[in-house]
Amino acid sequence: MQRRILFITAMMGLVLVSGAAAQVGGLKQQLVGTWTFVAVELTLPSGNKRLPAGPSPNGLFVFDAGGRFIFSVERPDRPKFQVANRPTTQEVFDATQDWFSSNFGTWSVNDADKSLTLRYEGSLRPNNKGAEEVATVELSGDELRLTGRNALDTGARPYFQLRRAK
């Protein structure tokens, strides 16, 4: 009985230490890993807000330790092509592409002001290629919020809410 209690106590301590370890280190170390999208919100120049990927976006944001990122996110209710993976009309194609976003490049952080800089090397939207985006980082446990500081080519400011993938 004492061994069982000792084992359970040791395991609980290990879990607590593992959770604490995720919060140790600089901002870069805390961001490394795979995140799933919880929300994508755009604030338009008019001040209006949109949920372009719908209320339940589907996608991943991956930060690697070498300073590379990739993210893809979609609106999960996009229509499917009607014929063997090919759109039948331009309207069908347009509907399937609304809303999907995929980007990759390099990333860095500034611990002092808790900011993340993304440098786009490639993007589904050609105008993003070569762009640099700065976001404010709010990190709490397995929850990450990124709020864009500078407008993208559309003039909209992005907000991503993410959860660490299990």
DSSP state of 111: T
The answer to whether 118 and 109 are in contact (CB under 8 A) is: no
User: What are phi and psi for residue 97, nearest 5 degrees?
Assistant: -85, -10
Task: Give pLDDT tens digits along the chain (166 positions).
Answer: 444 443 333 333 333 333 433 456 799 999 999 999 999 999 998 999 999 899 999 999 999 999 999 999 999 988 877 777 676 778 877 777 778 899 999 999 999 999 999 999 999 888 889 999 999 999 999 999 999 987 766 788 999 999 999 8
Q: What's the confidence (pLDDT) of residue 24?
A: 60
Could you tell me the domains of the chain? 25-164 (2.40.128.280)
pTM confidence score: 0.79
Whether residue 99 has a cis bond before it, omega within 30° of 0? yes
Q: What's the confidence (pLDDT) of residue 94?
A: 77
**DSSP string of 20-74?**
HHTT-S-HHHHH-EEEEEEEEEEE-TTS-EE-TT-SS-EEEEEE-TTSEEEEEEE
* Per-residue pLDDT tens over the stretch 101-125: 999 999 999 999 999 999 999 998 8
The answer to whether 69 and 104 are in contact (CB under 8 A) is: yes
- Measured in whole angstroms, the distance separating CA 20 from the mean position of its chain's CA atoms is 22
- Token pair, residue 18, equals 């593992």
- Measured in whole angstroms, the distance separating CA 135 from the mean position of its chain's CA atoms is 12
Residue type, 43: T
